[in-house]
A and B are shown apart, each in its own frame.
Chain A
């Protein structure tokens, strides 16, 4: 009966599939028509279970039409499989319920429902999918290097920016989840559990939007498990999930590849797997949950954001001016130098624009006039299209933004009245100006034209107007049918009677303000208001790539220098005009603020890094069978991003050492030493004096001073009888090669690769300090500069030259007595400071400064320290301490002994920054003896 009707259609489709060339648009078009007929038949015959697969198939063909890079072969396979599934089920007379449709269809269904806002449909067509996924023919081997990767194609409806943002966000989200899981393991609280579940829920929803089925399913499974059986959670497994997700997002980010879910994690995909396998196929509340119902707020939130993103993309990206950001902004090149074409274009646009005014006036009186609305829309649309070809970016952008508003008015999202029609008028005027500017430029034979100062503000206003209505619309949608069915709310006009007020105030938020006021009159419209906040809040955060930030910081650095040059210029100070001086000091203040602000832009909290350490401790402790409690504090301390990025590895080294060597191997040792059975590792970060300190502290056995000393003697690093401070002894472990020797002899020391840590600290211009008490534990303290762009430096004078010594390395400055200086054979000059004999050398000699003072007693000795070794540097005078913006010295000056960089001093002269480590090394080798 019914199957007969359908068989004919199925055969027709099957035949079409055999002859079709899926790369051919015409064939694809025919296929869609075939499938649409099939869909109608399926519906007529009441085979509801096949409705979704067939419409999904249609969607897949549509995707192929819209996306030329879509995999045609795969599509053909899926379509063929779909048809044969249907054929099979009609032949057997059943209702296709037990038919296994291809995975891709299922994915399509999920994401389509996801987009539709998650109305719970019948799950019948989803169920076979479970079976399909479970029985995946190629189970990938877990953890192996050649995990199979699949190409991932971005769904066409989603733009690249959105996807990039999504991927970028995931790592911090996963870090957060990881932190939560670790704390759950420690103490189980419902709040944290909810947090974790929410994270998986959001990730599931978002992944589904991006059509990443494996991740969506995995997250779904985890969410399900957290929901139903939180008691049965294996934290190890959860952490594995996190690891795999990190890896998967990494693959997506770097290679657009998607790895298979490893076998070990597949249990999550259907948590009711083993015994209750059948039960899972029944539509249980959880099973139904594939139809994901995002909370209204988050839906609104993300739609607003998506809208913003796509606006941003379409407004900036395809039409982004091809001008170098650093080049002069006020003038844009005429890239397309076909002068004839350009002048024809301007003339034609002029013509079209002239007709718009008339049409807009009609529209103002009758906003529903579709004909005029369409005509105005088309003009902007056409201008945008042509301007795109001619690389006239300003015109293109303006036309695009205006077209957007008009298009939405056309679609009935709002009426073109009040502030909206005003903004269109403004856009027309601006367009006229832009065209005129280009026309003038061409006429004068110029190859560039000045950019419009009024364009950006206008675009912003257009965006505001667009955003205002966007919120209205979004909020309306999330309010459900009631709101959608009340057009009086939707079409609420932003108060025409307020129009004159609007014109008076140049405030770009005029339209929005009107709407806010409007909304607040309705107290039950709380949702609308919160939507507004979302929109406003979204505007506050902008993603900027770090390179641009660096450029800004560089420029501000230059500004600071030039500002202080002006301030100290003798011709200015000699003018002694009090007003001028006052203004200059005001400028000075602002410049400093600007500099601080700029620096703070790069600052990020160390939290992420600390969280990683929590994981390291946990895993290592498990591995080595030690009970260790990890405590961290001060995670909110901010550091320059480049510093944060580079302290990860050294910290891992330190933390690993603390677990491996710091905490005693067996808890009985600890108990015997009257300590808590559970070891403790603490990670603290805090600010002190313009630096950040990071402490890695354990309450383990402490460093074995004796073995270290013995080793040092063996290696000739110290002599018998030499008195060394604890600090000096501990510092030996920072020497390259020292630690491995310790390890080889199995002495209970530590410091595997401590030289690596030391080197990293040197690179970051920080240092490391070790405190340890035998039996009580060890503390490593890292001192780091807040930023790498600026150092705190001591400005010193030698003769007529000035140098900068990083304050971080300075221990003290003393005026030496004559008799404290001695000359030792082969070791050059030495100075005795409080019973310590340290090498002394004269910068004047190293840099051949002729007018340097020769008598040390007339100068100052600056005692510097590096790696626990001290040296004295003789200078003529201390000039003061200041923040120094570091400038690279360029390739020719690289590698000069004793010099690490340069800076421009406030009088505009170059100051050389002394490389203390290099000088100490030179001093120790005695080669400076002179």
Chain B
């Protein structure tokens, strides 16, 4: 499944500025079909409603953490194979092992540049 510019991307982060930054980055990389969710519950709702091609989620969120969201996605019926990229802070990097075991496709460490994001997307959709 190669990355195409029209793929539908869901950005999950409780912090609005972060969502905007990621959205901007994605736009720079040519992805305009982007939706946002401010927490894991909203994200799951959206995933149930429409088919997404890719989920980018923050790790540290109130209520539902990124890894819980990931686990719920992987346990879902109709969207369990959706590629997930998890955003983590340098200090939380150790958690990535856990995420890998839960089936995350890749991780990215904050702060990052659009170029790094692009490499990650290319790697996931290669």
Q: Which residues of A line the B interface, CB within 8 A?
A: 23, 25-26, 28-30, 32-33, 62, 65-66, 156, 314, 318, 338, 341, 344-345, 348-349, 375, 378, 381-382, 384-386, 388-390, 403, 407
Output the least CB separation between B77 and chain A (Å): 19
Q: Is the CB of A385 within 8 A of B110?
A: yes
Q: Is the CB of A65 within 8 A of B96?
A: yes
Interface centre among A66, A384, A390 (most CB of B within 10 A): A66
Q: Report the separation of the CA atoms of residues A498 and B93 in the bound assembly, to the nearest whole angstrom.
A: 38
> Apart from A25-B106, A338-B24, A385-B89, what are 4 other A-B pairs with CB-CB below 8 Å?
A26-B103, A29-B99, A341-B24, A345-B17
Q: Is the CB of A29 within 8 A of B20?
A: no
**Does B14 touch A at the CB level, under 8 Å?**
yes
B24, B94, B104: the one contacting A66 at CB < 8 Å is B94
Contact status of A25 and B105, CB under 8 A, knowing A65-B96, A344-B16, A344-B20: yes
Q: Is the CB of A386 within 8 A of B100?
A: no
Proximity bits, B91-126, A CB within 8 Å = 1, else 0:
101101101111111110011000000000001000
Output the least CB separation between B117 and chain A (Å): 11
Which 10 pairs of residues, A with B, have the shortest CB-CB distance?
A: A29-B100, A388-B111, A29-B101, A345-B17, A385-B110, A382-B15, A386-B17, A389-B111, A389-B21, A62-B97
Q: With a CB–CB cut-off of 8 A, which chain A residues contact B106? A: 25
Output the least CB separation between B18 and chain A (Å): 5
**Does B62 touch A at the CB level, under 8 Å?**
yes
Q: Is the CB of A384 within 8 A of B16?
A: no
Q: With a CB–CB cut-off of 8 A, which chain A residues contact B18? A: 382, 385-386, 389
Q: Is the CB of A386 within 8 A of B21?
A: yes
Q: Is the CB of B111 within 8 A of A385?
A: yes
Q: Is the CB of B104 within 8 A of A341?
A: no
Q: With a CB–CB cut-off of 8 A, which chain B residues contact A388? A: 110-111
Q: List 23 A-B contacts (CB under 8 A).
A: A23-B123, A25-B107, A28-B100, A29-B97, A29-B102, A29-B103, A32-B101, A65-B96, A66-B93, A66-B94, A66-B97, A314-B90, A318-B90, A341-B17, A341-B20, A344-B17, A348-B17, A382-B18, A385-B89, A388-B111, A390-B17, A390-B21, A403-B91
**Does B60 touch A at the CB level, under 8 Å?**
yes
In the complex, residue of chain B having the shortest beta-carbon distance to the beta carbon of A352: B15
Number of interface residues of B (CB under 8 A): 29
Q: With a CB–CB cut-off of 8 A, which chain A residues contact B91? A: 314, 403, 407
Q: Report the separation of the CA atoms of residues A345 and B18 in the bound assembly, to the nearest whole angstrom.
A: 9
Q: With a CB–CB cut-off of 8 A, which chain A residues contact B110? A: 385, 388-389
Output the least CB separation between B44 and chain A (Å): 20
Contact status of A382 and B60, CB under 8 A, knowing A29-B101, A29-B104, A314-B90: yes
Q: Is the CB of B62 within 8 A of A378?
A: yes
Output the least CB separation between B66 and chain A (Å): 12
Q: Report the separation of the CA atoms of residues A637 and B24 in the bound assembly, to the nearest whole angstrom.
A: 60
Q: Report the separation of the CA atoms of residues A156 and B111 in the bound assembly, to the nearest whole angstrom.
A: 18
Q: With a CB–CB cut-off of 8 A, which chain A residues contact B24? A: 338, 341
Output the least CB separation between B74 and chain A (Å): 10
Output the least CB separation between B60 and chain A (Å): 6
Q: Is the CB of A378 within 8 A of B101?
A: no
Interface centre among B91, B99, B104, B123 (most CB of A within 10 A): B91
In the complex, residue of chain B having the shortest beta-carbon distance to the beta carbon of A384: B89
Q: With a CB–CB cut-off of 8 A, which chain B residues contact A341? A: 17, 20-21, 24
B20, B100, B103: the one contacting A65 at CB < 8 Å is B100
Q: Report the separation of the CA atoms of residues A62 and B89 in the bound assembly, to the nearest whole angstrom.
A: 17
Q: Is the CB of B15 within 8 A of A25?
A: no
Q: With a CB–CB cut-off of 8 A, which chain B residues contact A407? A: 91
Q: With a CB–CB cut-off of 8 A, which chain B residues contact A30? A: 101
Q: Which residues of B line the A interface, CB within 8 A?
A: 14-18, 20-21, 24, 60, 62, 89-91, 93-94, 96-97, 99-107, 110-111, 123
Contact status of A348 and B15, CB under 8 A, knowing A25-B100, A29-B103, A375-B62: yes
Output the least CB separation between B69 and chain A (Å): 16
Q: Report the separation of the CA atoms of residues A26 and B62 in the bound assembly, to the nearest whole angstrom.
A: 25
Q: Is the CB of B97 within 8 A of A65?
A: yes
Q: Report the separation of the CA atoms of residues A382 and B66 in the bound assembly, to the nearest whole angstrom.
A: 14
Q: Report the separation of the CA atoms of residues A375 and B101 in the bound assembly, to the nearest whole angstrom.
A: 27
Interface centre among B14, B16, B101, B107 (most CB of A within 10 A): B101
Q: With a CB–CB cut-off of 8 A, which chain B residues contact A66? A: 93-94, 96-97
Q: Report the separation of the CA atoms of residues A32 and B62 in the bound assembly, to the nearest whole angstrom.
A: 28
Q: With a CB–CB cut-off of 8 A, which chain A residues contact B107? A: 25
Q: With a CB–CB cut-off of 8 A, which chain B residues contact A25? A: 96, 100, 104-107
B89, B94, B97: the one contacting A381 at CB < 8 Å is B89
Q: Report the separation of the CA atoms of residues A716 and B101 in the bound assembly, to the nearest whole angstrom.
A: 86
Q: Is the CB of A382 within 8 A of B101?
A: no
Q: With a CB–CB cut-off of 8 A, which chain A residues contact B93? A: 66, 156
Q: Report the separation of the CA atoms of residues A386 and B16 in the bound assembly, to the nearest whole angstrom.
A: 10
Output the least CB separation between B124 and chain A (Å): 9
Q: Is the CB of A348 within 8 A of B97?
A: no
Q: Is the CB of B102 within 8 A of A348?
A: no
Output the least CB separation between B49 and chain A (Å): 26
Q: Is the CB of A348 within 8 A of B16?
A: yes
Contact status of A32 and B100, CB under 8 A, knowing A25-B105, A381-B60, A386-B15: yes
Q: Report the separation of the CA atoms of residues A381 and B61 in the bound assembly, to the nearest whole angstrom.
A: 10
In the complex, residue of chain B having the shortest beta-carbon distance to the beta carbon of A400: B91
Output the least CB separation between B81 and chain A (Å): 10
Q: Report the separation of the CA atoms of residues A348 and B91 in the bound assembly, to the nearest whole angstrom.
A: 23
Q: Report the separation of the CA atoms of residues A318 and B109 in the bound assembly, to the nearest whole angstrom.
A: 12
In the complex, residue of chain B having the shortest beta-carbon distance to the beta carbon of A33: B101
Contact status of A382 and B14, CB under 8 A, knowing A25-B107, A26-B105: yes
In the complex, residue of chain B having the shortest beta-carbon distance to the beta carbon of A344: B17
In the complex, residue of chain B having the shortest beta-carbon distance to the beta carbon of A341: B20
Q: Report the separation of the CA atoms of residues A386 and B111 in the bound assembly, to the nearest whole angstrom.
A: 8
Q: Report the separation of the CA atoms of residues A341 and B15 in the bound assembly, to the nearest whole angstrom.
A: 12
Output the least CB separation between B108 and chain A (Å): 11
Interface centre among A23, A28, A344, A386 (most CB of B within 10 A): A386
In the complex, residue of chain B having the shortest beta-carbon distance to the beta carbon of A63: B97
In the complex, residue of chain A having the shortest beta-carbon distance to the beta carbon of B112: A389
In the complex, residue of chain A having the shortest beta-carbon distance to the beta carbon of B119: A68
Q: Report the separation of the CA atoms of residues A344 and B23 in the bound assembly, to the nearest whole angstrom.
A: 14
Q: Report the separation of the CA atoms of residues A344 and B97 in the bound assembly, to the nearest whole angstrom.
A: 34
Q: With a CB–CB cut-off of 8 A, which chain B residues contact A349? A: 17
Q: Report the separation of the CA atoms of residues A32 and B89 in the bound assembly, to the nearest whole angstrom.
A: 22
Q: Report the separation of the CA atoms of residues A838 and B55 in the bound assembly, to the nearest whole angstrom.
A: 89
In the complex, residue of chain A having the shortest beta-carbon distance to the beta carbon of B21: A389
Q: Report the separation of the CA atoms of residues A345 and B105 in the bound assembly, to the nearest whole angstrom.
A: 29
Interface centre among A33, A338, A348, A385 (most CB of B within 10 A): A385
Q: Report the separation of the CA atoms of residues A407 and B91 in the bound assembly, to the nearest whole angstrom.
A: 10
Q: With a CB–CB cut-off of 8 A, which chain A residues contact B14? A: 382
B21, B60, B97: the one contacting A32 at CB < 8 Å is B97
Q: With a CB–CB cut-off of 8 A, which chain A residues contact B102? A: 29
Interface centre among B16, B94, B97, B102 (most CB of A within 10 A): B97
Output the least CB separation between B93 and chain A (Å): 6
Q: Report the separation of the CA atoms of residues A381 and B102 in the bound assembly, to the nearest whole angstrom.
A: 24
Q: With a CB–CB cut-off of 8 A, which chain A residues contact B20? A: 341, 344
Q: Is the CB of B15 within 8 A of A385?
A: yes
Q: Report the separation of the CA atoms of residues A385 and B91 in the bound assembly, to the nearest whole angstrom.
A: 11
In the complex, residue of chain B having the shortest beta-carbon distance to the beta carbon of A62: B97
Q: With a CB–CB cut-off of 8 A, which chain B residues contact A345? A: 17
Q: Report the separation of the CA atoms of residues A156 and B104 in the bound assembly, to the nearest whole angstrom.
A: 20
Q: Is the CB of A26 within 8 A of B17?
A: no
In the complex, residue of chain A having the shortest beta-carbon distance to the beta carbon of B62: A378
Q: With a CB–CB cut-off of 8 A, which chain A residues contact B99? A: 29
Interface centre among B14, B18, B90, B111 (most CB of A within 10 A): B111
Q: Report the separation of the CA atoms of residues A403 and B100 in the bound assembly, to the nearest whole angstrom.
A: 25
Q: With a CB–CB cut-off of 8 A, which chain B residues contact A318? A: 90, 111
In the complex, residue of chain B having the shortest beta-carbon distance to the beta carbon of A349: B17
Output the least CB separation between A158 and chain B (Å): 13
Q: With a CB–CB cut-off of 8 A, which chain B residues contact A348? A: 15-17
Q: Report the separation of the CA atoms of residues A926 and B16 in the bound assembly, to the nearest whole angstrom.
A: 82
Q: With a CB–CB cut-off of 8 A, which chain A residues contact B16? A: 344, 348
Q: Report the separation of the CA atoms of residues A349 and B17 in the bound assembly, to the nearest whole angstrom.
A: 9
Q: Report the separation of the CA atoms of residues A349 and B14 in the bound assembly, to the nearest whole angstrom.
A: 12
